[in-house]
C-alpha cells in the first residue's frame, strides 16, 4: 500500500513539472496543413517565375508583388490554422490556451522569427533576393529550436532540419525554391504527421 502511494507521488511530481513548463496542446495537424499551403504557394510562385522568365524581377514588377502576396497569404493561412486547431485541441484536453507555458512558447518563437522577418524584408529592400530563401529557413529553424524547450521535443528536430536546409540554401543558391519547398512544405508535413500520430490521435 505504502509503496503505491510513493509511486503515485513521484508520478504526480513528474506530471506537475512537465505540465507547468510545457505546452502540450500544439496541434500536429496544423503542421501538416501549413506544409500543404506552403507547397501550393511554392508551386504557384514557380509558375509566376516561369511565366515571366524573360523579364527581370524587380521591386516594382508585377511578378514580385504577386510572389510577395502569395508568401503572405501562405503565412496567414498557416498561422490562422495553427491557432484554430490549437485552441480546439486545448479545449479537448482541458488546458487553457493562454497559460504560462503557451506564452513562453510564443515569445521564444517570436523573437528569432521577427528578427528573421525584418532581416528578409531589409534584404528585399536592398534587392538582394538570393539570400531570402536561406534567411527565412534559418531564422524559422532557430525559432523552432528556441521554442521547443517549452513544448514537444519534435519541434526541436523540425528546427534543426530547417537550419540544415537553410545553410544548404546559402551554398547552393540556385536551389533556393527547392530547399524552401523541402523545408516549409515537406518537413512540416513530415513532422506534423509524426506529432499527429504521437499526440493527437487519442
Partner 1 sequence: MKNIIQNINKAFDHRIRLGIMSVLMVNESADFSTLKELLGVTDGNLASHAKALESEAYIIVEKQFIGRKPNTSYIATKEGKKAFQDHIEALEKLISKT
Question: CB 21 → partner 1: shortest distance, Å?
Answer: 5
Provide, rounded to whole angstroms, the least separation between the CB of residue 85 and partner 1: 22
Burial 21-40, CB ≥16 within 10 A → b, else e: ebbebbbbbbbbbbbbbbbe
- Which segments of 8-143 are extended strands (E)? none
Q: d(Cα 137, Cα 143) in Å, to the nearest integer?
A: 10
Q: Which is nearer to partner 1, 91 or 128 (CB)?
A: 91
Taking the least distance from each CB to partner 1, the nearer of 21 and 58 is 21
Binding segment (CB under 8 A) for partner 1, from list 30-38, 93-101, 138-146, 186-194? 93-101
C-alpha torsion 67→72→75→81, nearest 10: -120
Q: Which residue has the cell 491557432?
A: 83
| Residue 93 makes contact with partner 1 by CB under 8 A | no
Q: How many residues does the chain have?
A: 202
Q: Which of 65, 92, 96, 198 binds partner 1 (CB under 8 A)?
A: 96
By CB under 8 A, the residues from 9 to 38 that bind partner 1 are 9-10, 12-13, 16-17, 19-21
> Which cell numbers in the block locate residue 190?
513530415
Nearest to 40 by CA among 71, 17, 61, 65: 71
Quick check: 11 and 17 in contact, CB under 8 A? no
Among 6, 50, 54, 171, binds partner 1 (CB under 8 A): 6
- Measured from the CB atom, is 99 or 193 closer to partner 1? 99
Shortest distance in whole angstroms from residue 72 CB to partner 1: 35
Neighbours of 88 (CB within 10 A): 15
Task: Output the nine-digit C-alpha cell for 145.
Answer: 529550436
Question: Candidates 33-41, 73-81, 96-104, 108-116 — which segment interacts with partner 1 by CB under 8 A?
Answer: 96-104
Return the number of the residue (4 or 50) whose C-beta is nearest partner 1: 4
| Chain residues in the site for partner 1 (CB under 8 A) | 2-3, 6-7, 9-10, 12-13, 16-17, 19-21, 96, 99-100
Amino acid at each position: 500500500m505504502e509503496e503505491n502511494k510513493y509511486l503515485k507521488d513521484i508520478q504526480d511530481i513528474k506530471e506537475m513539472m512537465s505540465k507547468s513548463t510545457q505546452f502540450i496542446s500544439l496541434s500536429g495537424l496544423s503542421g501538416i496543413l501549413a506544409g500543404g499551403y506552403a507547397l501550393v504557394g511554392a508551386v504557384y510562385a514557380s509558375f509566376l517565375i516561369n511565366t515571366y522568365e524573360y523579364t527581370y524581377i524587380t521591386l516594382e514588377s508585377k511578378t514580385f508583388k504577386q510572389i510577395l502576396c502569395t508568401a503572405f497569404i501562405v503565412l496567414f493561412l498557416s498561422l490562422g490554422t495553427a491557432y484554430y486547431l490549437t485552441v480546439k485541441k486545448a479545449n479537448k484536453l482541458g488546458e487553457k490556451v493562454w497559460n504560462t507555458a503557451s506564452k513562453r512558447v510564443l515569445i521564444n518563437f517570436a523573437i528569432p522569427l521577427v528578427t528573421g522577418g525584418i532581416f528578409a524584408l531589409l534584404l528585399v529592400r536592398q534587392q538582394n533576393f538570393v539570400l531570402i530563401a536561406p534567411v527565412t529557413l534559418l531564422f524559422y529553424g532557430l525559432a523552432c529550436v528556441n521554442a521547443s524547450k517549452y513544448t514537444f521535443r519534435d519541434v526541436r528536430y523540425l528546427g534543426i532540419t530547417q537550419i540544415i536546409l537553410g545553410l544548404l540554401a546559402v551554398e547552393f543558391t540556385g536551389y533556393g525554391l527547392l530547399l524552401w519547398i523541402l523545408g516549409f512544405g515537406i518537413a512540416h508535413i513530415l513532422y506534423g504527421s509524426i506529432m499527429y500520430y504521437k499526440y493527437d490521435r487519442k
